[in-house]
Amino acid sequence: MSAFDDLVPIAARVLGAGWFLALNVGITVAWLALGPVFDWSELWQLTYVTTISITTWWAAILIQGAQARDTDAIQAKLDELVRSQPGASDAVAGVEDRP
């Protein structure tokens, strides 16, 4: 297993936690409150926007990884259910892996 595979379930739990949403709301409120202190400078805005963009990009990658793992697990379970039923055709089991 790679480090990414180890990180995905942890990151999915963190990104979906209520405290993480509250943290992000707090950061945004702080950013808005500090706007007048920094005179709404371009550097101040660029730093925030860049940070949010990079964070969003990484979150999307981690979420896609978690969804891929979930999909693989569901497919394996469905394939096993099809194969376990007497008289059921297993022609469709594993079809997602075929070219």
What's the whole-model pTM score?
0.67
Instruction: Say yes or no to pLDDT of 69 above 80.
Output: yes
The Cβ of residue 11 has, within 10 Å, a number of other Cβ atoms equal to 18
Domain that holds residue 32: 3-84
One-letter-per-residue 3-state SS of 31-65? HHHHCCCCCCCHHHHHHHHHHHHHHHHHHHHHHHH
**CA 44 to CA 35: how far, in whole Å?**
8
Report the number of distinct structural domains present in the chain: 1
Q: Which residue has the higher pLDDT, 20 or 85?
A: 20
Taking 3-state DSSP, the helix, strand and coil percentages for the chain, each rounded to the nearest 5, stand at: 80, 0, 20
Residue 92 lies in a domain: no
Residue 91 lies in a domain: no
| Residues 26-47, mean pLDDT to the nearest whole number | 91
Residue 12 lies in a domain: yes
Q: Which residue has the higher pLDDT, 26 or 82?
A: 26
Residue 96 lies in a domain: no
Residue 62 lies in a domain: yes
Q: Which residue has the higher pLDDT, 90 or 43?
A: 43
The predicted structure's pLDDT at residue 1: 65
Q: Which residue has the higher pLDDT, 19 or 16?
A: 19
